[in-house]
Amino acid sequence: MQLLFRQLALFAGVLAFAFPACAGPVRSDHPVIGIWKLELPDGSCEETYRIRADGTSLVTSAEEISETRFTIDDKPDAEGFYKSQDTITKNNGKLDCSGNTMKVGQSATNYLLFHGSGDMFLMCYQRDTRACIGPFIRVRGSTST
Is-contact 93 108, C-beta < 8 A?
no
What does pTM read for this prediction?
Answer: 0.81
Lowest-confidence pick of 1-5, 44-48, 104-108: 1-5
- pLDDT for the residue numbered 142: 55
> What rounded mean pLDDT belongs to the chain?
86
Top-level CATH class of 2-138? mainly beta
Closest CA to 52 of 29, 30, 33: 33
Report, as an integer, the average pLDDT of 108-133: 96
Report, as an integer, the average pLDDT of 119-129: 96
Ordered by start, the domain boundaries in the chain are: 2-138
Check whether the bond before 41 is cis (ω within 30° of 0).
no
Q: What is the pLDDT of residues 60-76, one digit of tens each?
A: 999 999 999 999 999 99
- pLDDT for the residue numbered 5: 41
- pLDDT for the residue numbered 25: 87
Q: Check residue 105 and give left, alpha or beta (phi > 0: left; psi -120 to 50: alpha).
A: left
